[in-house]
Each structure stands twice: as structure tokens, then as C-alpha cells.
Structure 1
């Protein structure tokens, strides 16, 4: 059977629905992985396509047995490929070692032995030769659950209706990326970033030291495009990432003056980060940044600037980097 190519529906960043509308929404855990559309024509084959439409089937050999999970039934499924850390949480950094191997099946097989992946399924857009995209979320969810797709490397996680605030709090307490809110009456909109699906990331904040900056381009010419930040750990200033968002133009201009005053020819980070074109500063400016999570080597993911902390001394920005990341 020839199955239709269906680009995945995308969620819009936002906040929880108002309490009065809570029971009209379903809540699913937001996963930190690679979005994938699964094509099962019912002939014992499987095709996995990334959000870009690229065929990535060969990158994930442990998912190939899913080809026979539905027998001769055909389906197009929506899901996320995850790599789990020692605590059972999705780690995008681990997954990166598995991505990009679609054209190297032998390497993919070797990496699969070292870093296995798991596929979570959360929607079905086509089933038994019939399109389901015009059905509401509740009907598609019922159809998906009826398939009983739970296997050695794939599963269909639960969703809940209502109790959004409790669900979001639970994801934060368990160190998960966040929550996806889906309106119960929402149809599936292929390739559309829809307000019917809302994604909420759990963000954290920490104090950091500015140790350098990268010049801006275009309208930011002459201003810092990003600051390079670090935290003190094990007696040294560890580079933890570049922050390029979160300022107003006035704040960025003020920061440019402070960076000029702190200029130095010596990189304060140990080890020196690979940041071509960087300008270094004496690490005396403390700032607060917001971020989603840390990578396995302590880098901040998706950092954004919150504020300068003139009330803090440089020594107050000691790192809260776990020992195994130092």
C-alpha cells in the first residue's frame, strides 16, 4: 500500500490553558528527542521520516521490528525517538550520537548497541487505508490505544485529561522537559504550528559569570551578539555556554559598555572553549540566565538572559554542576 506523506503537526509555545478550560485539554509529557513519522504499509516494512521529511529508517535499526507489530494493517503514526540516560530521562545529547547515521547503517548498528533508543507514539494520522486527520484528538487517541503498540523499543505513553497544573508540576519535579497541551477537539493539522497544541518547557535559572562575548551582526553590529558564560567548579571557571537572547536593545548597549571596561587578552575559561572570534573579559560580571536543562558535560541548553546581578560578587556564581559533569 502507498501511504500518504504527512508532515508532523507542531505545537506553539505558550502557557497552561485557563482553569475554566482545563477539562477541554489533554496533557502529555514533552519529550526531548527527535520527532519522527512512522509509516507501516502492512507488508512487513517500515519507513521512518524526520520532521524535515528525510528518510532516517537506517539510523534506528532497533525500531525495525515495529514493521510487523500490526500484522497486515497499515498505519501512519506520530512519535518521538528518545535516548534515555541512567535515570531513565530523555537525553538529547545522547541521542545526537545516533542522529545523522541514516546513510551509515553499519555505524548505526554499532551505536545502537551502545546507545539504544526508544520510540514513544502519541498520534495516528492514517489507519487501514483511511485518513484520520479530520477526526478530533480524542478519536485519534482512542484509535492509537486500540493498536496496543508496546514493544521492546516502543510504547504508547499515557495522557491525562484535565489537571494541567498538577501535570506540569510533576514534570518539573521529575526533571522532565515539560508538557504538551492538546485540545480535545483538535484535528491533526499536517505541517502547521497550531495553537490547538501548546508546548510548555520547564525552565531553570542560575547565576553565571561573563567571561567573553561574540560581536553581533546586522542591526547588532558594534554590540554583543552573545555573551560567553561560565561557572566556577573544581577551582576553575568552566565554560557552560553562549547566551544570545533575552536583552532589550538598551540593555544590550549598557552591557557593551561594561564588557569594554572589563576587556582582557587572557581567556578566563579552563579549558578554553572553541569560540572563534571571541573577545575575553575579566570574569567579574555576574548575571542570571534561564535554561531548560544541562547536557551531560554541564553545558546549558537553550539559555536566555534574565538580568545582571550587581548585588552578587563573582565568587557567588559557583557552579551547581553535578560532580560527574566537572
Structure 2
């Protein structure tokens, strides 16, 4: 079952919803046949059990009781938050058990459980509130797995808490909703915490197909101790007319030299003098300071390159702890 992007329920409906932290990991359905074994499958259906050998012990925690659970595999950072960049070093190793075992020692996975679809029998037709009660009764807390609390009501406070803690966001779930496998349901609403930043455009790459002749993406940076540090490629957020207008500005600013302190890996890149200031929206930053899931908001003609993006602290991004 998948969540639909949206916003908090109306205040009058708040107590009819539960709120869970949105995790930044790999979704996994956990099959416990009751014989001590365990199988993990990704959203694609791929068997990813061998990728996370530290989760094999989960197979014996319910004894002979068969169950199917829903959850998310994370790799936690020093603050105990899911770090997708760390998780990427663990993914795709199902056919390399030796490498998977070594990576498990270096960056152990943690499975967050948030639903139960089967326990002896089928529970998908039961309301979320009852399924959640059943899940919590299993007391699935271990060295590499846990069942975080779901908060009923108080959605505004829950969302503020995720923002204050630097977490990815919130998932809102109707207490009376059934489990709909394979459905992106309006009974589950996901809210992603997004940030904004002012950036300088230092280059662009051509678009393909209907975007031929227009910028497919712009390459952006921020000042870091007087240098322009590359922070990412932004390819969404414009209408066709806005993209055409941006193309004219970029061509007028073209230069033969890369303005970034290190040249980004960008095939067919065109460099421009970093005079255009833009505002972008993004979710988080990677450990290298790159913007994750960036989208364009607007040009900032009211800002100059000198006063738009204050120099970043040396070697750090402004929103990293």
C-alpha cells in the first residue's frame, strides 16, 4: 500500500488519523513463514533477503506463528536518522553475499516496522487502528529492528517535530482504513519536509525530445569561502515558456570556462557566468552537500550574486548538523 502526496487532514478530522514519521529508506515486505526463516521483498518484488544478513534473526522472533509485515529498511546516521546515502552502499548486493556481510558490519541496517498484513490469517480487511494494535502487541524490538510509535491526533505538532528534528516528513493514516496492496491510497497521505535555498546558475545541459534546444537542467552552486561550490542539477519546476525565457538568459551569459571550483560530471555541459540567482526547493542534502530532489521555484532578479547566497561554512552545508 502506497501513500499519496498531500497535506495534513482538516483540524476537525485530526483525531481520526494516526501520524508516523516518514522514513528515508528502502520499502520492504517481510515474510515470516513460522519455520525460523525470513524473506524480504522490495516494492519491485525482488528478493532482497541476502542484502541484509543482519535481519535473518528476525525469522525466529515469532516462533511458529506465520506473519507478513510491512516496513522500511534504513541505515542510521550518528543522530539515529535514516541516511539514504549510507543505505545506497548496502543496496544491490543480493548476489554478493560476501560484500553484503562486510557492508553489514560497516553500516548495519535497521528495519522499521509499521504494519502487519497477515498474522495466522489475513488482516488486510481490518482497520488500521486494529492492525496497529496487533503489530504493537508483537513487541518487535531487537538489535536491528523496531516498531516506532504512531501518534493519534496532534498532526500539526507531529509535523513540526519532524521538521525540528531534520526528518524526512510525516505519513498520515486514517484509523478506519483497510490495507490496499498495490494501491496509492488517499487513506495514507505523505508530507515531505522541503527546504529552499538561493543558488547561482553556473551551467546547463541540453534537453532531449520536446525539450530539444532548451535547457534540460541547470547546474547550480553556492558560495563556499569565496569559491562557487557545485550543489546539484535541477531539471524540474519550469513551464515551457519559463524554460524558453531561461534559455535566452543562459545563452547571453555563456562562457568557455567552468565557474565551479571543481568541474561537475555533466555530459554536454554549457558553462555560464554565475550571475543568475534562482530559488530552489529540495528535501535534504547528501553528505557531500548536494541537493536531493531539487526543483526550480523562481528566478531572483531582486538578488545579486554577491548578496544572494551567503558563503557556506567551510566544508559544510547550511542545514547539516
Quick check: TM above 0.5? yes
| From 270, 273, 286, the counterpart of 1:282 | 273
Q: 1:81 aligns to what?
A: 73
CA RMSD of superposed structures (Å): 1.3
Q: 2:176 aligns to what?
A: 185
Ranges of 4+ aligned residues in structure 1 off by more than 2 Å: 318-326
Cα 1:138/1:309, change in 2 over 3 Å:
same
| From 233, 248, 260, the counterpart of 2:239 | 248
Structure-1 separation of matches of 2:185 and 2:311: 38
Alignment of 1:138-149 (within 5 A): 138-149=129-140
SS at match of 1:300: coil
Q: 1:60 aligns to what?
A: 52
List runs of 5+ in structure 2 lacking aligned partners.
Answer: none
- Deviation for aligned residue 1:235: 3.0
Q: How does the TM-score come out when normalised to structure 2? A: 0.96
SS at match of 2:188: strand
- Deviation for aligned residue 1:234: 2.9
Cα 1:322/1:35, change in 2 over 3 Å:
farther
Structure-1 separation of matches of 2:87 and 2:114: 19
Q: Describe the superposition over 1:259-290 as per-residue Cα deviations: whole angstroms up to 9, x where unpaired.
A: 00001111111211111111111111111101
SS at match of 2:196: strand
Structure-2 separation of matches of 1:168 and 1:216: 37
Q: Describe the superposition over 1:45-79 as per-residue Cα deviations: whole angstroms up to 9, x where unpaired.
A: 11011111000001111111101011111100000
SS at match of 1:145: helix
Structure-2 separation of matches of 1:50 and 1:231: 36
Residue 118 (structure 1) aligned with residue 110 (structure 2) = yes
Q: 2:20 aligns to what?
A: 28
Structure-2 separation of matches of 1:194 and 1:105: 36
SS at match of 2:263: coil
Structure-2 separation of matches of 1:322 and 1:165: 35
Q: 1:5 aligns to what?
A: none
SS at match of 1:16: coil
Range moving further from structure 2, 245-254 or 87-96: 245-254
User: Do the aligned residues in 2 keep the contact of 1:298 with 1:321 (CA within 8 Å)?
Assistant: no
Range moving further from structure 2, 226-235 or 316-325: 316-325
User: Do the aligned residues in 2 keep the contact of 1:118 with 1:154 (CA within 8 Å)?
Assistant: yes
Structure-1 separation of matches of 2:37 and 2:52: 14
| From 307, 312, 317, the counterpart of 2:303 | 312
Residue 97 (structure 1) aligned with residue 89 (structure 2) = yes
Q: 1:6 aligns to what?
A: none
Structure-1 separation of matches of 2:257 and 2:188: 48
Q: Describe the superposition over 1:103-136 as per-residue Cα deviations: whole angstroms up to 9, x where unpaired.
A: 10100110111111111000000111x1111111
Alignment of 1:263-302 (within 5 A): 263-302=254-293
Q: How does the TM-score come out when normalised to structure 1? A: 0.95
Cα 1:109/1:249, change in 2 over 3 Å:
same
Q: Describe the superposition over 1:69-91 as per-residue Cα deviations: whole angstroms up to 9, x where unpaired.
A: 11111100000011111111111
- Deviation for aligned residue 1:39: 0.5
Residue 167 (structure 1) aligned with residue 158 (structure 2) = yes
- Deviation for aligned residue 1:254: 1.0
- Deviation for aligned residue 1:323: 3.4
Structure-1 separation of matches of 2:213 and 2:316: 39
User: Do the aligned residues in 1 keep the contact of 2:29 with 2:69 (CA within 8 Å)?
Assistant: yes
Q: 1:69 aligns to what?
A: 61
Structure-2 separation of matches of 1:23 and 1:13: 20
User: Do the aligned residues in 2 keep the contact of 1:22 with 1:164 (CA within 8 Å)?
Assistant: yes
User: Do the aligned residues in 2 keep the contact of 1:16 with 1:181 (CA within 8 Å)?
Assistant: yes
| From 8, 11, 31, the counterpart of 1:19 | 11
- Deviation for aligned residue 1:219: 1.9
Cα 1:324/1:37, change in 2 over 3 Å:
same
Q: 1:208 aligns to what?
A: 199
Q: 2:32 aligns to what?
A: 40
User: Do the aligned residues in 2 keep the contact of 1:293 with 1:300 (CA within 8 Å)?
Assistant: yes
SS at match of 1:323: coil
Structure-1 separation of matches of 2:155 and 2:93: 37
